[in-house]
Chain A
C-alpha cells in the first residue's frame, strides 16, 4: 500500500473527542495541505501523524507504521532561545549521526542545505539574532537535512514574507517530487494552498469535511460554510483558484 494511510485516527483530550475518526490515503510525491478554521483540529492531526500525541487508530507509511527517521515534524511554536549558530542548529538535524568529531560530510551537507535556502550568509550568526521568519527557515532546513519520507509541518510559512513563502513552498514541492516522499502541511492561506498543494484536507470541528484536489475542495459553498464567510473564488492566469474573502 503506497503513500500515507490514516486509519480511523482519533484524538481525545479528557472526555472530549478533538479529532473524530479520520481515515484517508494520501499518495506519495506531493504536498497535501491541511486547511480549516482555527480550532478545526489541524495541529492535533499533525501531532498525531508525527507520533507526538497519543491517538487512536493507525498511521502507516508504505504499509508499515510510521515513525523514527521516516518522519520530520516542524511545530507551530518554534522559537529558539539557544545561543547556537545557524550552522550548528542545522547540523542538529543529523543529531543521530553526529559523533564526538563532526565529519566533514556532515558540515558540507548542512552548508549545502543552508545554501539551498539562501541562508549561507547567516551561517555563523546566533539563532537568537535572527527574526522569527529566519528562524523558521533555518528550522525547516534542519528538518529537510534529515531527509524524512514524510514531512509534517504546522504552518511553515506563518512568519514569512511573500517572497519566502513562495520560496519555501517551491522547496517543499521539489523535495516531495525528488524524494517520492510526502509533505503534509497546515496552511492558513487558501490561495497559497490551492497553488502549491496536490491535495487538500479540509477540517472543521475536529472532523474531515472535504478532501480532494484544491479545485474540488475549495468551492464557494464549502469554504463559505466552513469559514462562515462569503468568499469569491476567482481564477488566476494559471487557472489556480484565488480565494477572495468577503
Chain B
C-alpha cells in the first residue's frame, strides 16, 4: 500500500466521523431551535414558565401555561419538525431519482393534488357527517395518493425514466391546479378565504393528531428509505452505471416515489403547502455531508426540520402578537436560497 492510499484510508474514516458529527450537530441545533420555538409565541411565556409547564405535564396546575404549551405550541413545534423532516427526505429522494437538483417533493404535482382534496372538502364537506379537521387532511392525503397512482400508472406503461416521471408530474400538476382553480371560482368569499388560508401552509392547523399521523408515517417510511441508502447513492452515478452495478433502477424509482408520495401527503395534509423546504434542505445537507445517502438522508431530514422550525420562530418574531404562516416565510426565504443553488450549480459547470 503506498503512502497516498495509507493517508486516505485514515481520511475515509475521518470523513465518516466528520459527517456523523455534522449529523449530530444538526440534531442538537434542531433540539435548540425547538426549545426556542416553544418559548416564542404571541401569548409570551418566559423560558422558566415553559420549563415549569413542561415538567408539570399536560395536567399541570397552571392551566393557562399547560394549555398554551401542551395544546398549542408543542403540537406546532413537533408538527413543524416532522413536516420539515418529511419534506427534506422526500426532496432528496426526488432530486436523486429524477437526477435533477431543482426537483422537490412538489415536482410531481403532489401539493396541487393535496390542495385540490382540501379545497374540495372545504367547499362540499360540510354536508358529510365527519368533522372538518378530520375530513380536510384525509381528503388532502387521499388526493395526493391519487396523483401518485396516476403517475405510477403512466410510469408502468411508459417506463420510469426521469423524463417520463417529470412529464407525467407536470400533467398531474396542471390537472389538479385547474381543478383547484375551478373550486376556488365556485366558492363563496368566506369559503375561498378558508381555501386560500389552507393553501398558505401554516403550523396553526397543527394538533396532536397531526403529530401522531405525520410522525407515524415518517417512522414507518424511514426504514424503507434508509434501506435504499446505498442504492440511491449508486443511482447518483447515472442510470447506465447504476444498472451496470446490478441495480434495478426502474424498481428503485417506483419504490422511492411511492415513499415520497406518502411522506409528502403526510407533510401537506395537516399544514398545507410549504414551499422550498423540500428543495433547499437536500442542498444544504449535501453541502454538509456529501452525496453518501447514509448521511444525506438523515441530514436532509434534519435540515428540513431546522428550516421549518426556524421559519416558525421567525413567523412569530417578525410580527409580535400575530403569527405569519410558515409557508409564506419559507417561500420568501427560499427565493434567495434557490438563487444560491442555481449560481452554485452554474459554478460547477
Q: A84-B290, A111-B9, A115-B1 are in contact. Are A89 and B246 (CB under 8 A)?
A: no
Residues of A contacting B15 with CB < 8 Å? 85
Is the Cβ of A84 less than 8 Å from the Cβ of B233?
Answer: yes
How long is the Cα–Cα vector from A72 to B243 in the complex, in angstroms?
10
Q: Which residue of A lies closest to B243 (CB)?
A: A52
Is the Cβ of A98 less than 8 Å from the Cβ of B230?
Answer: yes
| Majority secondary structure, B binding face | helix
Is the Cβ of A89 less than 8 Å from the Cβ of B237?
Answer: yes
Which one of B5, B238, B244 lies within 8 Å of A115 (CB-CB)?
B5
Is the Cβ of B244 less than 8 Å from the Cβ of A79?
Answer: no
Which one of B5, B234, B286, B294 lies within 8 Å of A92 (CB-CB)?
B234
Residues of B contacting A78 with CB < 8 Å? 238, 240-241
Q: A82-B291, A111-B8 are in contact. Are A68 and B243 (CB under 8 A)?
A: no
How long is the Cα–Cα vector from A112 to B246 in the complex, in angstroms?
22
Is the Cβ of A77 less than 8 Å from the Cβ of B240?
Answer: yes
Is the Cβ of B241 less than 8 Å from the Cβ of A139?
Answer: yes
A90 to chain B, nearest CB (A): 11
Residues of B contacting A114 with CB < 8 Å? 5
Residues of B contacting A237 with CB < 8 Å? none
Is the Cβ of B290 less than 8 Å from the Cβ of A146?
Answer: no
Is the C-beta of B185 less than 8 angstroms from some C-beta in chain A? no
Is the Cβ of A107 less than 8 Å from the Cβ of B234?
Answer: no
How long is the Cα–Cα vector from A80 to B286 in the complex, in angstroms?
16
How long is the Cα–Cα vector from A123 to B237 in the complex, in angstroms?
16
Residues of B contacting A24 with CB < 8 Å? none
Is the Cβ of B233 less than 8 Å from the Cβ of A121?
Answer: no
Is the C-beta of B49 less than 8 angstroms from some C-beta in chain A? no
Is the Cβ of B246 less than 8 Å from the Cβ of A124?
Answer: no
A174 to chain B, nearest CB (A): 19
Residues of B contacting A85 with CB < 8 Å? 12, 15, 290
Which one of A80, A112, A146 lies within 8 Å of B237 (CB-CB)?
A80
Residues of B contacting A87 with CB < 8 Å? 8, 12
Q: How large is the interface on A (under 10, 10 to 19, 20 to 34, 35 or more residues)?
A: 35 or more
Residues of B contacting A92 with CB < 8 Å? 230, 233-234, 237, 245
Is the Cβ of B4 less than 8 Å from the Cβ of A83?
Answer: no
Is the Cβ of A123 less than 8 Å from the Cβ of B4?
Answer: yes
Residues of B contacting A100 with CB < 8 Å? 229, 294
How long is the Cα–Cα vector from A107 to B5 in the complex, in angstroms?
10
Is the C-beta of B44 less than 8 angstroms from some C-beta in chain A? no
Highest count of chain A CB atoms <10 Å: which of B15, B233, B238, B245? B245
In chain A, positions 54-98 with a C-beta closer than 8 Å to chain B are: 68-69, 71-75, 77-85, 87-89, 92-93, 95-96, 98
Is the Cβ of B8 less than 8 Å from the Cβ of A75?
Answer: no
Is the C-beta of B236 less than 8 angstroms from some C-beta in chain A? yes
Which one of A75, A80, A89, A123 lies within 8 Å of B244 (CB-CB)?
A75
The 10 A-B pairs at the shortest CB distance, nearest first, are namely A82-B236, A120-B5, A75-B240, A123-B8, A73-B244, A120-B4, A121-B4, A111-B5, A84-B291, A83-B291
- Given A80-B238, A83-B290, A95-B230, output 7 extra A-B contacts at Cβ < 8 Å: A92-B245, A98-B230, A100-B294, A108-B9, A112-B1, A121-B4, A128-B348
On A, residues with C-beta under 8 Å from B are: 50, 52, 68-69, 71-75, 77-85, 87-89, 92-93, 95-96, 98, 100, 102, 107-108, 111-112, 114-115, 120-121, 123-124, 128, 139, 142-143, 146
On B, residues with C-beta under 8 Å from A are: 1-2, 4-5, 8-9, 11-13, 15-16, 229-231, 233-234, 236-238, 240-241, 243-247, 286, 290-292, 294, 348
Can you list 13 residue pairs at the A/B interface with Cβ under 8 Å?
Answer: A50-B244, A52-B244, A71-B246, A74-B244, A77-B238, A77-B240, A79-B238, A85-B12, A92-B233, A92-B237, A95-B231, A95-B245, A102-B16
